[in-house]
Structure 1
Amino acid sequence: MDWTNLLTNVTGELFAPTTAAFALAAIGLNVHFGLTGLLNMGQAGFMLLGAYGFAISTIAGWPLWAAVLVAVVCAVAFAVVLGIPTLKLRGDYLAIVTIAAAEIVRIIGRSTALSDLTGASNGLLGNSFKHTFQDASPFPDGTFALGPFSYALNASNSWWLRLVAWVVVALACLLVWRLMTSPWGRVLKGIREDEDAVRSLGKNAFAYKMQALVLGGVLGAMAGILFVLPRAVQPDAMGRPTTFWVWTILLLGGAATVFGPILGSMLFWSALMLIKSVMRQVVPPSFMSVAEIEAFGWIVVGVTLMLLIIFRPQGILGDKKELAIDAR
């Protein structure tokens, strides 16, 4: 077994664009759940809307900043439309509605009636919408090696994308930290703990929850952009499993913490890469095929999520007093 190459690939996952994208999506979910107590099971819907908004706008000839703005507007609109009828629901009822809403977005994206716009189940090819982002790079074309890590400077899986992705994640962490320590954040924590008590103090709990839903949704949409820049926009790539991966990442690192989503995403993707890589090397093909090894890796993810909920719902960095999972 080539341990050097294996460890290089696993370590590379720690700062990969996909890791950054899911960290950002988990930060958005942290605003929903960790800060406000909203059981949002539809974060993948925000990610898919952001990806579609960015890609379709770019294909239509819009500049980079305008395409990102369209993605943000799509997330805001979706949050408002979703929040008006659902934010009065609590606990598992809200979870059911949000996962259904995300599925509606995915199914609409797969619809053949919109194939000219969304590409239906085939999606949108990456080369059709990546050029504006790559053109914004200050780096020359070519490849750059930093230690054992060698990537292109401007291609899909590039240093430029990694730099932008982690800067966005850092800014999102800074924003959430400032909000958590602000009066606005303290009201959201109050809603998470006892919404009726917050209402009795004259606060409009519905308005605060709507603001949290919009903010977390915008972060999810930005995560969707980062997720599709190294690949294509494919609706089934951001379906129900994506939401559960984001939940696993958040609960692994710790809800209601600033750096929990980042730690969770790094551990999630590097551990998944390690499990699959080791099994491909040591498990004979006659016993388990490559497809079965891939499926087994996700089985491990599911078991991990169950064990987290049972034995350590607060995650690695979390405080159990900060976590309130209820179904009121």
Structure 2
Amino acid sequence: MFISDLFVGFGAQILSSVTAAFALAAIGLNIHFGYTGLVNIGQAGFMLLGAYGLALTIRYTGSFVLGVIAGVLAAVIFAFILGLPTLKLRGDYLAIVTIAAAEIVRIVGGDQALAPVTGGVAGIQGSQYQPAFTALSPFGPSGTFTIGPYTYPLSAGDSWWLRIVGWGLVGLAVVLVLLLMHSPWGRVLRGIREDEDAMRSLGKNVYLYKMQSLVLGGAIGALGGMVYVLSASVQPDSLGRTTTFLLYTGLLLGGAATVFGPVVGVILYFIIISALQAFVGEFVPTTIVSAQQIPQITFILVGIGLMLLVIFRPQGILGNKKELRFGD
């Protein structure tokens, strides 16, 4: 029973719209870090801006399409504001700036002085914007559908409709990255990652390419933020620093600078988390680890695993060690 329940849980994680949302954001982060070498520790900020842009636009206009446009546009503007003064920075300095920028977005979103607009710490309830997405469903507004052990609503809430859209966007993003990274533009990005001065000597505008990479990866991250909040609510603290570190864990696990690495890594991350929680809850006595401590123990084990991964297999599962190595 335990093993069968465990595998059912694995399937639920693979189907989950949350997994799809983080896979999208990790694809965007891969464009930044994996292909261009930008150490962006603020991808959660792009996700949060996409979520707020979607929710606020739907609240005031009722249009889901305008909400998506507004969310992507907010991420693009943020990328320009962030990139114009900082893209000449390298390594640790860029990391500090990006994590600070993401924290500014989170803190402003949670500011109680802006509560009439952003909802403050409480955020924006899903009931204010989710119906606009549900109305686009071809399956009707109500009802459920079952595939094997998985039963979800057809359209409302955390539905099959949301899963189809979320994983459909992941598929489109993968195809986009595949095409771009096999184009001259993608080869320039890889060259910038390896040696900026060499690219400049070839007449390439390194600053412009970095900006394009930041904008594209941020826009894909914003789409991930939209998918994430379509089954929940927009709360600033739910997309904070921990989110970006989760994305890096999935990216490094699957393999940075690979097309499918971010998707595989994020799926494996959630499966590992699910498995560890299940095993600790099943086999470790409550006198040693209480139910409230299980998530913390799980994240400790994942952190140890990430350190071992970076030490012994920095290229991840699908990566090429000759192409991407730490400390070179």
TM-score category (smaller protein): over 0.9
Q: Match of 2:76, SS?
A: helix
Structure 1 partner of 2:317: 316
Distance 2:16 2:196 in 1: 39
Q: Match of 1:212, SS?
A: helix
Distance 1:326 1:223 in 2: 30
Whether the 8 Å contact between 1:15 and 1:266 is mirrored in structure 2 is: no
Letter in 2 for 1:309: V
Mapping 1:91-110, distance limit 5 Å: 91-110=91-110
Whether the 8 Å contact between 1:192 and 1:324 is mirrored in structure 2 is: no
Distance 1:303 1:155 in 2: 38
Structure 1 partner of 2:257: 256
Distance 2:71 2:12 in 1: 28
Structure 1 partner of 2:39: 39
Does 2:16 match 1:7?
no
Distance 2:207 2:174 in 1: 25
Structure 2 partner of 1:210: 211
- Name the stretch that deviates more: 280-289 or 196-205: 280-289
Mapping 1:275-294, distance limit 5 Å: 275-294=276-295
Whether the 8 Å contact between 2:314 and 2:325 is mirrored in structure 1 is: no
Letter in 2 for 1:235: P
Q: How far 1:62 sits from its partner (Å)?
A: 3.4
Q: How far 1:126 sits from its partner (Å)?
A: 1.1
Distance 2:49 2:63 in 1: 18
Q: Match of 2:318, SS?
A: coil
Aligned Cα root-mean-square deviation (Å): 1.3
Distance 2:117 2:323 in 1: 43
Structure 2 partner of 1:160: 161
Q: How far 1:128 sits from its partner (Å)?
A: 1.2
Structure 2 partner of 1:119: 119
Whether the 8 Å contact between 2:315 and 2:325 is mirrored in structure 1 is: no
Letter in 2 for 1:12: A
Please list every run of at least 4 consecutive aligned residues from structure 1 whose deviation after the TM superposition is greater than 3 angstroms: 324-327
Q: 1:324 to 1:310 in 2, by over 3 A?
A: closer
Distance 1:19 1:324 in 2: 27
1:188-235 Cα offsets, whole Å, 9 max, x none, are: 111000000100111100000000000000000000001111111111
Whether the 8 Å contact between 2:110 and 2:236 is mirrored in structure 1 is: yes
Q: How far 1:324 sits from its partner (Å)?
A: 4.6
Give the TM-score normalised by structure 2: 0.97
Q: Match of 2:146, SS?
A: strand
Structure 2 partner of 1:81: 81
Distance 1:281 1:127 in 2: 36
Letter in 1 for 2:240: G
Greater relative contact order (Cα 8 A, min sep 6): structure 1 or 2?
1
Letter in 1 for 2:17: P
Letter in 2 for 1:20: A
- Name the stretch that deviates more: 279-288 or 46-55: 279-288
Distance 1:62 1:143 in 2: 25
Q: How far 1:42 sits from its partner (Å)?
A: 0.5
Q: How far 1:10 sits from its partner (Å)?
A: 2.1
Q: Match of 1:321, SS?
A: coil
Whether the 8 Å contact between 2:44 and 2:239 is mirrored in structure 1 is: yes
Whether the 8 Å contact between 1:91 and 1:326 is mirrored in structure 2 is: no
Name structure 2 gaps, 5 residues minimum: none
Structure 2 partner of 1:131: 131
Structure 2 partner of 1:304: 305
Q: How far 1:14 sits from its partner (Å)?
A: 1.2
Structure 2 partner of 1:182: 183
Structure 1 partner of 2:243: 242
Q: How far 1:277 sits from its partner (Å)?
A: 2.1
Whether the 8 Å contact between 1:17 and 1:157 is mirrored in structure 2 is: yes
Q: Match of 1:117, SS?
A: helix
Letter in 2 for 1:138: P
Q: Match of 1:145, SS?
A: strand
Distance 1:120 1:227 in 2: 19
Distance 1:2 1:252 in 2: 26
Structure 2 partner of 1:28: 28
Letter in 2 for 1:323: L
Distance 1:324 1:94 in 2: 19
Distance 1:162 1:189 in 2: 32
Q: Match of 1:322, SS?
A: coil
Letter in 2 for 1:268: Y
Distance 2:70 2:62 in 1: 10
Letter in 2 for 1:58: I
Distance 2:53 2:327 in 1: 34
Distance 1:12 1:173 in 2: 22
Whether the 8 Å contact between 1:37 and 1:325 is mirrored in structure 2 is: no
Structure 2 partner of 1:59: 59
Q: Match of 1:23, SS?
A: helix
Letter in 2 for 1:315: G
Q: Match of 2:152, SS?
A: strand
Letter in 1 for 2:42: G
